């Protein structure tokens, strides 16, 4: 369908969300590192855990992640504004602050690491619920865990399904 296209991507998947018709597919089910696309699932899970008007306080623990997006310890953000900021700027600090704040809602007597693990567990549950068979999260930001292990993995078709779910369920 695209004879003059010079595709350099390892995988691609294009479909019409209205009809479900696949327009183009290349290695669409190949599991690859998601990197910052991970933040899309983090935002979805955060929005489902807490109302947008919730308030998130940035903690020292949130600021320990790689990358500095200018957030300050003790700063307070509405959940919606912090999610918007984190998605637009790909802020690891912002998404970590969200995960720490929301992951602690049900269990206040646990460590930051346990809170993050609970939040990431919810991300993996949501991936399963959405039928994302090639998607798995190790953390909430997509930062590599090591030189050989990514922070999350997924396929082009899974990312398309995730984005379709968000567009349909949360059009705003």
Q: Which residues are catalytic?
A: 36, 39, 90
Which residues pair with residue 118 across a beta bridge? none
C-alpha Rg value of the chain to the nearest Å = 17
Cα distance between residue 116 and residue 122, in whole Å? 10
Give the single-character DSSP code of 159.
H
Q: What share of the chain is helix, strand, coil (3-state, %, to 5)?
A: 45, 15, 45
Q: Position of tokens 């590192």?
A: 33
């Amino acid at each position: 369908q695209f004879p003059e296209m010079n595709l350099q991507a390892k995988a691609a998947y294009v479909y019409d969300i209205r009809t479900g018709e696949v327009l183009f597919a290349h290695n669409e089910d190949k599991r690859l590192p998601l990197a910052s696309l991970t933040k899309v699932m983090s935002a979805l899970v955060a929005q489902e855990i807490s109302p947008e008007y919730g308030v998130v306080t940035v903690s020292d623990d949130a600021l320990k992640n790689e990358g500095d997006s200018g957030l300050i310890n003790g700063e307070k953000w509405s959940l919606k504004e912090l999610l918007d900021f984190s998605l637009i700027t790909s802020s690891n600090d912002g998404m970590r602050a969200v995960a720490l704040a929301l992951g602690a809602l049900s269990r206040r007597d646990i460590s930051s690491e346990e809170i993050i693990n609970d939040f990431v567990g919810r991300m993996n549950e949501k991936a399963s619920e959405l039928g994302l068979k090639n998607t798995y999260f190790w953390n909430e930001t997509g930062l590599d865990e090591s030189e050989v292990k990514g922070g999350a993995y997924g396929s082009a078709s899974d990312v398309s399904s995730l984005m379709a779910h968000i567009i349909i369920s949360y059009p705003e």
